[in-house]
Amino acid sequence: MGSPPEAGFAHEMEKPWHLVRVAAFFISTCCVTRAQYRLFDQHYEYAADFIEREDRQPPSGWDEPVDQRPIGGATEFDAYCFALWLGEGYRLPSEVEWEGAAWGGIDRNAHPDFVIGVSPFTSECTADQVNHDDGLTMDESIPMKAGLYRGYAVPVRFAGFSVNGFGLWQMSGNVWEWCDSVWQPDLFSATVCETRYFSSESASADFFDRKWNSARGGSWDCIAWFCRCSCRDCSELWSHSTGIRLSRDRFPPDM
C-alpha cells in the first residue's frame, strides 16, 4: 500500500510503501447509481453536473438521462444511512480495502511505476482510461493544457472504459469515494491503527464526533494526480463529485 520511494509525484502521506494484510471482503463492482439511491431517498436530486470553464464548452451528451450515473454530492452520513437501509452487513470499504481493490491484483513490486489499476498500464493516466480533467497534467505545477474535459460523471458502467483485474468499474476518476476510515495523515498509522465506525457498536454516536473522513479515487473535475490508486485525500463534509461504493465482510465477524 502507498507509493514506492522512487515515485517522484507521490505525497508524503502516501509513504511508507508497505505490505498490508486484510480479511477477505466483498466490494461492489460499481458506485451506487442515482436510480439505486432514489429507491432509498425519493427526493434525491442532483442538478450541478457540468461545471463550466472559460475555455471549455458543455460536451455533447452531458444532459442526457442520468439515472445510471453515480450519485454525486453524497455526504458520508448519506452513505452510512444508505448502507443501514440496505442491511445485510453493507458498509463503506476501509482505506486499505479500497486501495487493494483499486489496483485489481497488479504486482506492484514488479510495476512500481503504474499509477492506476486499468490498462494500458503506464506512469500516466488519460481521459481515455479515467474520467478526469485531462486538461491538467499529473504535475500540479504545470499550467493547464488542451485536453479532454467531459465536465460530468459518466454512467457507472461506461462502455468507453475498462474494468480492472477484479472486474471493478472506475475505481479511479468519475466520483470520489468515501472510505470508512477516520483520516490519519501518516499512512503507516492509518493502516496499522485503522479506526472504522460502520462496524462500531457506538457508530451512531461516534459518527458526529468525526472531523475528517477519508476519500479516494479522484473525480471528473480533478487532475490525474488525484486519480492515482495510491493518492490519499480527506474531506470534512462533501463535494458535488463525491459518491458511494459499498463493501461488506466476506465472512461474518463471528466465524
pLDDT at 48: 54
Query: Cα–Cα distance between 79 and 83 in angstroms, integer?
Result: 6
- At residue 147, the pLDDT reads 65
- Would you state the cell numbers that stand for residue 246, as one nine-digit string? 459499498
Confirm if 177 and 226 have CB atoms less than 8 A apart: no
Q: What local confidence, expressed as pLDDT, does residue 64 receive?
A: 55
- Supply the pLDDT for residue 225: 87
pLDDT of residue 203: 45
Q: How many CA atoms lie within 13 A of 251 on its CB side?
A: 6
pLDDT tens-digit map of 181-225:
778 888 887 776 555 555 544 444 454 455 578 899 999 988 888
Residues of the chain falling short of pLDDT 70: 46-65, 135-147, 192-211, 236-238, 252-255
Helix (H) or strand (E) run with residue 39 in it: helix 34-40
Give tens-digit pLDDT for 163-177.
Answer: 999 999 999 999 999
The Cβ of residue 24 has, within 10 Å, a number of other Cβ atoms equal to 7
Beta bridge partners of 91: 247
Grid coordinates of 219: 473525480
- What's the confidence (pLDDT) of residue 204? 45
Give yes or no for a contact between 69 and 154, defined as CB atoms under 8 angstroms apart. yes
Determine whether 142 is exposed, middle or buried from the number of CB atoms within 10 Å of its CB (0-12, 13-18, 19+): exposed
The pLDDT, as a whole number, for residue 246 is 96
The reported pLDDT for the residue numbered 200 is: 44
pTM summary value: 0.84
Q: Is 255 exposed, middle or buried (0-12, 13-18, 19+ CB in 10 A)?
A: exposed
